[in-house]
Structure 1
Amino acid sequence: MAEFTENNKDKPFFLYYSPYAIHEPNSESPEYYRQRSTATGKRRALAGNLIAVDDAIGRLLDTLRKHKLQSNTLILLTGDNGGSPGSNSRPDPYRGGKGEGTQYEGWVHTPTIISWPGQIPKAKTYDGLTCTMDFYATAAAVAAKSLPRRCDGKNLLPYLRGEKTGDAHEELYWCNDDPKDAPRRHLKAVRWKQWRLVKYDDGWRLFDLKADPREERDLARKHSDVVSDMRKRYNAWVATLAPVIPMKKGEGEGGGRTPPEKPYPGGGVRPRATRPAAGCPIRVVRL
């Protein structure tokens, strides 16, 4: 990243960095990185890789300072999913994570750090409902570029600057029933305010994440009106999606069979899978 910045310091640039180092299995971190952590057991390997990535980001920041580019550079740092139980990662206070916990908020709820000295205030926390697709809309606003007609992302700058309050999105949706994807990653869910509605084999379950972040108390019967409203919103959204690309014989993790198309309320066929990370608190810092 530092080398890229050096080579492009005199012109506008876009850098996307997605390291595999912190993706499980992560047992290959060099010992000199692990020694800088107090972690033990499985978490020691993960900690070593986190330190390695932190060093790489530090070199990037040093390069930006060297060329006085901090005030002209927006940095967004996040994860694409919650932690993996296999590496003893914890999504506290939520439940779940990558793997068998994909039905829970802990899989899609990830922290985010944003920095743009002089443009957004430091030491500010924004807890509104956001999604990684908002990064695209925010970057477009920074570059003074118009968005395409179909863009679900929202420009986060007004919320980070305090010009707007509340959630960036009234609700967020997930629909991943792609036959090419592993069944354990299939997810149908809605987030609205403190509510999370999730589809299970036995029906829809409703959770109040504010009072019950671990999703242990199903409130679907008690708040059937909320379930009904959120299901209507979800079905209306699903009807706008493009159909899934047909799967060739033998493809996919789920046995290689192409399921028949199934109609959804409002028309249309099986939707193309979408799996955004969402609901993440954003902390603005001065890097």
Structure 2
Amino acid sequence: MKRQTGIFFYILGLYVVLQFAWWGFHLIELTEELKRNSSDVSKRVIMIIGEGLVFFSILIFGLWKIRSSIKKELQLSERQNNFLLSVTHELKTPLAANKLYLQTIQKRNLDEEKRKSLMEKAIQENERLEGMIENILNASRLENNALKPHKEDTNITHLFEQLAERFHKRNQQELLSLDLEKDVNAKVDVFFLETIINNLLENALKYGGSNGNIELYLFRKADHLIFGVKDQGPGIPKEEIKEVFEKFYRSGNEDTRQQKGSGLGLFIVAELVRIHQGKVSCKENTPRGANFEITL
């Protein structure tokens, strides 16, 4: 964006200089013409006024375009700063928790059941940390075009059932309901699909799944594979729907937001779907919440 803005600015600047030089040339000619003959003066004046109006319109458009680009750059910079603050906190939290669990095990004479419980919590925090780091790495790979799909024949229904089981185990409670068409097979990149579903499920859990109202669905429609995740959270305002798939974007007010997150999950989802030559959309759920639907 910065490069495009710079190029546009230089082109606009060059046009302004050339236009003033052109006007200067015409004014000199017009002065000479007044000395000799005034019959064509009115035509030349109309031509100069017309060119002036065109120049003024282009100049106003250019200034508006530059202002919009600067505004986008400032918004991106603010999101990057928020991302750094958020991800720093989220990386420190599991590290601090793991340190506490290990110190408790080391310093206290615990029975086997309590030791096992603390070890399981430490493993969960470690998996959470791995997930955050993987998202950061995936975002970087996507921006550098380093991820290419490797499609293979896959039983999508079975894959989604496995992902749901892992999700329940990770959160230690039944939060997810399944609406999956049986034995749906397709040629897909398994890593892409797992990453997409995991990010959608984590997003649904953050914004509205604490009551167990998350649904993972899958069905075929003609030659297309349609799947997605529904939640019954607060939903997404219509004016924000176009922005939710942008990098670092997080819904809501930054000063009052309580949900954790880096603003990378839905960006990764959108990019992986695009590389897989599919479409992703955000719809309203019934009776409330959001529905992220993907078509491949």
Same fold (TM over 0.5): no
| Rg larger in structure | 2
- Structure with higher helix content: 2
TM range (shorter): under 0.3
Q: RCO (CA 8 Å, sep 6+): is it higher in 1 or 2? A: 1
TM-score normalised by length of structure 2: 0.22
